[in-house]
Amino acid sequence: MRKLFTGISQLAGHLPQGESFRSGAQMSQMEPLKDAYLLVEEGIILELGSGEAPRADIIVDLGGVEVMPGYVDSHTHAVFAAPRHEEFALRLKGASYEEIAAAGGGILNSAAKMALISEEQLYRQSEAFVRNMMAHGTTCLEIKSGYGLSIESELKILRVARRLQENLPLTIRTTFLGAHAFPKEYKGREDDYVKLVIEEMLPRVLDQGLADHIDVFCDRGFFTVEQTARILEAGARAGLPAKIHGNELGLTGGVQVAAAHGAYSVDHLEHCGPDEIACLQQSEVVPVALPGTSYFLGLPYTPGRELIAAGLPLAIASDFNPGSSPMLSMQAVVALACTQMKLMPEEALWASTANAARALRLEDQLGSLSVGKRADFWTTRSQDAWLSIPYFMGINHAQRVFIGGEEVTS
Ligand SMILES: [Zn+2]
């Protein structure tokens, strides 16, 4: 059954055959199609173009809207037990994220709440967040564990993420992040926790087929480069590719350990100097900036301009989580990437779609509106939408959202 979408005044996010993401100077190129059509069969784009449309079994006239590619949010912690409003108030009074973490707040606070919440309640509230993301144009996302820090809680988070994957139309990938922080009771014997992650948590996660990647928070006060390497090696032996939290708090070797282990991406990079950039240039690791975290914590922003100038395929993601980035709209993330990191709107478009798909190694299936890719898109009445999104920040530009050519908004 061929479905034809017409009534598209302008379509953004199209890549020519043979191109699945964009690096460096190419990221400023974006050629929107005017008066466009989109022909879809079994969820996949069969043909698209401007002007006269081909024949089809079903015709959907979208009524003169613009079409944008679905966002790929490649880094989220969307399954969490509760917001951390109390820490927000402390930070407004001047406490830093690191001070709060050292006092047992932060990730440990989330882990304590995770131990208490029922799996059903966790599922229900996570589903509401993910549906909200979808209503803002996100059609693919990654979800990490890491708010458990115990075997049972880590498994609970990943089971909920898998259930979201089964029940919702979005493409969802899961990541085991048992090494997100050290539980309080492991203070002074951190290596025992690393052992727990490798020898007890990871085998259970693998047995139940709950994770697609493995992740470690490699940073000052969290996991050392050596501990990170050990965990990534264990993941690799089990066939789990790596994604790293690195260089959020300092120049702490996250980029180098990611490159040495062939990670799909290294995420955060608020601290990123010439050595880190040179290392990324020698690797296939996608640098992922999380501007919502810089905004919410008052951290420096990832040097996006330098990463693009170095010819790298910069991606951006929400890092949606209760402690450092309670921002689930990729439209808001795009706006911050432009205003704070000085990305051009075209660059922010690729960073949030095709390059983000590359950060999950899904760029051959989705991330751009191109022949052979999944028909994941949303409609808007905003003019030159990729320019309007960062400009008119704070409104939802998305009207109707389609995944695999099927409408998911009602
Ligand atoms: Zn994160």
Query: Cα of 295 to ligand 1 centre, how many Å?
Result: 14
Same domain, 112 and 38: no
Q: What is the mean pLDDT of residues 278-284?
A: 98
Same domain, 139 and 171: yes
Query: Cα of 321 to ligand 1 centre, how many Å?
Result: 7
Same domain, 185 and 133: yes
Same domain, 290 and 258: yes
Same domain, 16 and 143: no
315-316 β-sheet, strand order: 71-73, 138-144, 171-179, 213-218, 242-246, 265-268, 286-289, 315-316
Same domain, 318 and 398: no
pTM of the model: 0.97
Query: Cα of 287 to ligand 1 centre, how many Å?
Result: 13
pLDDT of residue 149: 87
pLDDT of residue 97: 79
DSSP per position, 300-361:
PPP-HHHHHHTT---EE----BTTTB----HHHHHHHHHHTT---HHHHHHHHTHHHHHHTT
Same domain, 195 and 158: yes
Same domain, 44 and 123: no
Query: Cα of 290 to ligand 1 centre, how many Å?
Result: 8
Domain boundary among 359, 377, 397: 359
Query: Cα of 388 to ligand 1 centre, how many Å?
Result: 28
Query: Cα of 94 to ligand 1 centre, how many Å?
Result: 22
Query: Cα of 289 to ligand 1 centre, how many Å?
Result: 10
Domain boundary among 359, 380, 395: 359
Same domain, 208 and 300: yes
Query: Cα of 189 to ligand 1 centre, how many Å?
Result: 24
CATH number of residue 351's parent domain: 3.20.20.140
Query: Cα of 318 to ligand 1 centre, how many Å?
Result: 9
pLDDT of residue 171: 98
Q: Answer whether residue 230 shows pLDDT above 90.
A: yes
Which residues face 288 on adjacent strands?
Answer: 267, 315
Query: Cα of 319 to ligand 1 centre, how many Å?
Result: 5
Q: Answer whether residue 160 shows pLDDT above 90.
A: yes
Same domain, 25 and 83: no
Distance CA 177, CA 2 (A): 41
Q: Which of 139, 38, 76 is nearest to 362 (CA)?
A: 139
CATH number of residue 32's parent domain: 2.30.40.10
Query: Cα of 11 to ligand 1 centre, how many Å?
Result: 31
pLDDT of residue 98: 80
Q: What is the mean pLDDT of residues 233-260?
A: 96
Burial class (CB in 10 A: 0-12, 13-18, 19+), 90: middle
Q: What is the mean pLDDT of residues 3-18?
A: 97
Q: Which of 128, 150, 59, 48 is nearest to 369 (CA)?
A: 48
Query: Cα of 75 to ligand 1 centre, how many Å?
Result: 6
Q: Which of 16, 40, 128 is nearest to 79 (CA)?
A: 128
Highest mean pLDDT among 109-113, 120-124, 247-251: 120-124
Query: Cα of 314 to ligand 1 centre, how many Å?
Result: 17
Query: Cα of 255 to ligand 1 centre, how many Å?
Result: 15
Asked which of 98-107, 119-128, 232-241 is least confident by mean pLDDT, the reply is 98-107
Query: Cα of 76 to ligand 1 centre, how many Å?
Result: 6
Query: Cα of 110 to ligand 1 centre, how many Å?
Result: 13
Query: Cα of 370 to ligand 1 centre, how many Å?
Result: 30
Query: Cα of 338 to ligand 1 centre, how many Å?
Result: 21
90 compared with 410, residue with greater pLDDT:
90
pLDDT one-digit tens code per residue, 352-373: 999 999 999 999 999 999 999 9
Provide the number of structural domains found in the chain.
2
Query: Cα of 14 to ligand 1 centre, how many Å?
Result: 29
> What percent of the chain clears pLDDT 70, i.e. is strictly above it?
100
Q: Which domain holds residue 371?
A: 2-69+367-407
Q: Answer whether residue 211 shows pLDDT above 80.
A: yes
Query: Cα of 246 to ligand 1 centre, how many Å?
Result: 10
Averaged confidence pLDDT in the chain: 96
pLDDT of residue 184: 87
Q: What is the mean pLDDT of residues 132-159?
A: 96
Q: Answer whether residue 256 shows pLDDT above 80.
A: yes
pLDDT one-digit tens code per residue, 14-61: 999 999 999 999 999 999 999 999 999 999 999 999 999 999 999 999
Q: Both tokens of residue 213?
A: 């990647």
Query: Cα of 62 to ligand 1 centre, how many Å?
Result: 37
Give the Å distances, CA to CA, from 203 to 147, 190, 223, 368.
Answer: 18, 20, 20, 35
Asked which of 97-111, 184-198, 331-345 is least confident by mean pLDDT, the reply is 97-111
Q: Which of 141, 167, 170 is nearest to 333 (CA)?
A: 141
Q: Could you tell me the pLDDT band of residue 314, with boundaries at 50, 70 and 90? A: very high
Query: Cα of 245 to ligand 1 centre, how many Å?
Result: 6
Q: Which of 396, 379, 395, 392 is nearest to 67 (CA)?
A: 379
The total of other beta-carbon atoms located within 10 Å of residue 226's CB is 12
Same domain, 26 and 95: no
Same domain, 128 and 151: yes
Q: Check if the beta carbon of residue 43 is closer than 8 Å to that of residue 22.
A: no
